[in-house]
Amino acid sequence: MAIPVVEPERYAEQLAAKRDYLETTFAAFQPPALEVFESPPGYYRQRCEFRIWHEGDDLFYAMFEVDAANPKNKRVVRLDQYAVASTRINQLMPQLREACLQSDELRRRLFQVEFLTTLSGEALVTLVYHRPLGDEWEQEARALEAALGIMIIGRSRKQRIVLTRDHVWERLEVDGRTLHYQQVENSFTQPNAHICQKMLSWAREVTGKQQEGAQNDLVELYCGNGNFTIALADNFRRVLATEISRTSVASANVNLDANGVANAHIARMSAEEFSLALKGEKAGRRVAEMALEDYDFSTVLVDPPRAGLDEQSCEQLSEYAQIVYISCNPATLAENLTILTKTHRIERFALFDQFPFTDHCECGVLLQRRDG
C-alpha cells in the first residue's frame, strides 16, 4: 500500500484517469454521461489514525508502505504533517507530539493516535496505549485537552476513558440546509466531508425529481449513522432504514432528533434479516416495530461494504421501482449491475472523488425499472 502523495497541480490529471477507468469499466452497461464531483485536492480527510513510533527519546507519527513484491516487508514512513488530513489534524499533529515528548505519562507505551475532526474544527483525539491508564494519566490528559482545545479518549486493554465526550458534531451544508450529525469515536463516518455534502445533494436530486407529488416511501440498507436518511427524508412520505451496528443505530436515532426528522424509523437489523422480514419469513419484536404493512416502498437506497451485494440481495433490490446504489468498489458494483440491469436501466451515474491521489473510486448509480 502506497501512502498518498498530494500534488495539487496534478489533481485534474488523476481525476481524468479515474473518469476514464469508470467509463471503460462500465461501457457495457451503456450508462448516461458520467457526472464527476471533485474533492479539494488536499486536506480532505476529517479522520485519520497513525501509529506512534518510538526511537530512543524521540517519537513520531508513522504509517507503513508495503512492498508489493513481498507484502511481509513494510517500511516505516515518518509523518510530521499529512497533506491528506484536515487542516485541523495537521495543526494538532506537532502540538500533540510535543506534549507527549514533554510528558513521560502521556508518551509511555503510547501505541496509536486517532483523530476525528469536523469542518468547523471540532476535534476528538483517541490515545491508544499498551499499558493500563490511571489517575495521573487522566490528570495530564485533561490538562492537554484544555491546552489544545480538544477532547481526549484514552484506550488500553479493557479500558476506555472518555474525558469529555465520545463524539463530535459535524455540520454539513446541503442544498441550503444545515444538517447536524453526531459522529462517534471508532465508528464509521464518511471521511471526506466536502464530498459527503455533494453525495447527499446528488442523492436528494435524483430521488426528488422522481418523487414530486407522490406518496411513496424509501427503504435504506446499511444506513450507518443516518447520513443519507436525514438528507433524503423530506423527499419521501416515510423512510425505513436498517443497520446492524448498535453504535451506528444509536447515533442515527440521535441524528434524527437533532434534525427534526419525524418520518423515519431506524431498525437494528442486517440486510439479510430485513429481506426475510419483507418476505414474512422473520418475526419478533423488531419486525413488529417496523410495521411493514404501513409502507409503500418505491425506492431503495443501498450503500454496502466493499464486498458489494450477493445475488439474493440483488434480486431483492430488483423488486423496487428505483434503486440508488452508492458503491465504494467499482469491481463489485459492476458485478451487481450485471444482475440489476436485467430489470432496471441506469438513469444517472456519478463519480465522487472521495480519496484524491489514490485508486479509490466512489460511485453513485440511479436505476429505474424498465417498462414492462
Q: Say what the pLDDT of residue 211 is.
A: 47
pLDDT of residue 372 exceeding 70:
no
212 is catalytic: no
Q: Check 122, 170, 185, 362 and give the catalytic one.
A: 362
pTM value is 0.93
pLDDT of residue 272 exceeding 90:
no
pLDDT band at 359 (very low <50, low <70, confident <90, very high): very high
Q: Which residues pair with 170 in a beta bridge?
A: 181
pLDDT band at 80 (very low <50, low <70, confident <90, very high): very high
Half-sphere exposure of 154 (CA within 13 A, CB side): 25
Q: Which domains does the chain have, with CATH numbers?
A: 8-41+192-369 (3.40.50.150), 47-168 (2.40.50.1070)
Rg (CA), the chain: 22
328 is catalytic: yes
How far is the C-alpha of 51 from the C-alpha of 284, rounded, in Å? Answer: 44
Q: Is 7 annotated as a binding residue?
A: no
The percentage of the chain sitting over the pLDDT mark of 70, rounded to a whole number, equals 97
Output the CA–CA distances (angstroms, integers) from residue 187 to 41, 56, 73, 184, 329, in the order listed. Answer: 25, 34, 29, 6, 20
Spatial CA neighbour of 112 closest among 188, 27, 166, 51: 51
Report the alpha-carbon angle 227-230-125, nearest 5. 40
Q: Say what the pLDDT of residue 1 is.
A: 56
Q: Is 222 annotated as a binding residue?
A: yes
Q: Check 328, 335, 347, 363 and give the catalytic one.
A: 328
Q: Say what the pLDDT of residue 209 is.
A: 52
Could you give the 3-state DSSP secondary structure of residue 221? strand
131-176: pLDDT as tens digits: 999 999 999 999 999 999 999 999 999 999 999 999 999 999 999 9
How far is the C-alpha of 165 from the C-alpha of 152, rounded, in Å? Answer: 8
Q: Is 243 annotated as a binding residue?
A: yes
Q: Is 303 annotated as a binding residue?
A: yes
Q: Is 227 annotated as a binding residue?
A: yes
pLDDT of residue 288 exceeding 80:
no
